[in-house]
Chain A
Amino acid sequence: MSEKKKYSYEDELTGSRNAPEYRPGMPLNERIRLVHRLNYSKEEMIRHTANRAVAEMVEHMGKHDMCSTFDRFAQQHPQCGYGLTGACCAFCSYGPCRVTDKVPLTVCGKDVHLVVAGNALRRLAAGLSAHGAHAREVFISLKAAASGSAPIPLKCPEKGYAVAKLLGIGTDGKSIETICEEVADRFIDDLQRALPEERHRTLEALAPKERVDRWKELDIIPISAYHECFEANNLTSHATDSDFESHMQAFMRTVLAYAITTVISTSLATDIVYGIPRRSRINVNLGSIVTEDCVNIGINGHAPMVAFAICDIVGTPRIMEKVRKAGAKDIRLYGMCCTGGEFIERDLGIPLVAMASSAEMAVATGAFEAIVVDQQDVLPGMMPVAKQFHTKVITTSPSGRKEGAIVLELDYYLRNLDKIYELAEQILDIAIDNYRNRDPKRVYVPKVRAKVEMGFGIEEVMKVFNGSVPEKKVHGLAALVKSGRIRGIVNFGSCGNIRGAVFERNQIIIAKQLIKNDVLVTCHGCSGMGLLFAGLAHPDASKLCGERLREVVEAKDIPPVLHVGACTDSTRAGQVMAYTANAAGVTNPQMPLAMVAADPAAEKTMGARYAFVLQGIETYSCVQDNTIASDRFMDYTGNRLRTMVGAGMNWDPDPYRISEDILRMLDEKRENLGWPVWDYEIGTKEEIEDRIPDTVEIGQNLCTLG
């Protein structure tokens, strides 16, 4: 992208690090210095994070000798420079080998580019496995619900019908249960197939034709998710593939398997089984926790089976009777991480209180009788915190056990799936029984919360903006973008990192700059949760918008930041973008769109970001991916991909510079399409960081909302 900028405003935090700027050919030690300098202390985090509840809890934990993620990060510093830049290969027992300016080859003979590409591919494959395990559970749920083999209700059969139509599955004369079972079978086939000659039918049905044709030209159509995971590990195994281009081709195949099967298909199947998002208003963040007379249960992780079963029975008279007998008046569930994202989208009255990295701060409130966890992004550091309180940690997935936790899980072979509601009740019983052990004197809950409006699935977006499901078009949104009321659409997703950024700061700065300049924002996953906690996902945040966007969101009574769900619900953001481009009569790469993964952390975020790139959407991050040792990799992802798929990966640690890069890119696309262009303005620190929206409540007198 072009380098012409209007503003020179730079982030004082990033600027004060004196980190060298990345330039091709720079020595490895400078690259390591660059990454080392871009770290922030716990004290800096406390001062500058937008999430005042987390800042307060980290201080509280420090005062009470509880170790948090931020303490452990400080203890790790300085982290290994070879690992940080990707110049270390630890795949086989010849190594670990580090590739340096003086020692350019590993023992087996790989150069730095192959080492970095191999590390990136393996990280991507790990992310594919994680979302793939989630996908498998959801597909099994759908099949079980449709076939009646488990007592799981099919909450949105209408979507099952719509998805069958999308997939080209015949529906005539079939019952809705049969249709939904065939949808599950199709998804499972593309998850696990080994045979190479069969088409990837989900990909061909769900991706825009222009994209499918491009991917076929590049010869990167995956065989199946299982196979691409298998092959990514095979290809990078000891002395197997040693061709950089071949590594990158496998990388792109794996990204597509990740995107189509483990993200898009998962999100669609989840909607069929557990219901589609519904608009609702609720409070979020730690200040939403009820401390008086209430049994509190946190649900953390990603897999929906047990989590939704608990949700289905928690308010039943039978459970409420047990609650009263235990001496409490109420029982409440609270969402954490992406299970929280799934709950809060579906108007179940379950507030979201923490994302993955801040879940242990929620535990440290001492207000939870139980934390129910399944798999992924449940930090091991949660266990020692829970042990300091009466809080019981209960694991429900054999893939995500925790040393010292109570195991009440669906077994590895799902032999007890038909007993899922008994399992859910056992979990609730433990929490209710544990209420008597709570020490009220040790409960500490920061009085910080934000008002949000949730539930913007593709169906709601179509209702608000005159869309059509069969046409796969959001006509109204396209018209508003084309006519110049909305500059573009930018999605925020992925995790939040401790390294390379101040916790929950960068994405808030960028989002505020964008809505100030008339960009409609969508968000999902843990990074999106930061925008919720910052109060941007409520109609009252319209005050922070530019005039044009403000007129739109106020007329429609929607927030300028539309929350679309959990990490796998990037699907919905992708649909909003692709269906808007479709309605505008242009392709994704032509359309003013972008993806922001401000502070990516988990392996899954590798696939999450490149999935948008391969969809033709420019993607931006502030935290570097442990790949900076290889100029060839940096050039491939930052430049060559743009010529291959119409978009690239952009990295800049400065959120102010990234904001301008995005706005400039959106304007360039608008100019190319002949659509109106108007000035943008980068807000100062005082305007962007110091102005907390009215939707965020900080204080002792929080009113009841929603």
Chain B
Amino acid sequence: MTVLQIVFLVTGLVTLLAGVMVVASPKLVHAALWLIVSLAGVAVLFVLLNANFLAVVQVVVYIGAIAILVIFAVMLTRRVMADSGPTHNPTWWLALLSALVLFGGLLALITQLPAFGATEAALPAADSLTDLGTSLVDVNRYLLPFEVASVLLLAALIGAMAVARPASEDEEGGA
């Protein structure tokens, strides 16, 4: 058992546990904070896979932006601090069963991969960042998805404003 394996197992367990606590926490704000723990666990897993850039992007975007958005949504729409969402779903055992079946199926698939069972994965070289940068603007590689991503972000921005904006003065005047 190398140190890397121990760290990986511990991180995986923490991430899973945090995921379970997200759905099992009685207080919504606690659930949001457990989500942050789970996202941080995923960031550590990225570090273990030698994907430094993805790890910091995970923290910057998911924890620094999306988690804050989720917490804002919870705090702005819940009047009482101790308010809790519904916690017990009578058919929770069915969800657990289907999750276990899915997990078993995935495990069966993965064990058939030739690389499974190696103790140390063949990780990519640490400096693939320059390659990533050129691939984003290379016409033969990811240029089109790159520009489409910006259009997608623009659409998200406009859509979010259209949904979240309070009534404008025209509507009030017309009503």
Whether chains A and B associate is no
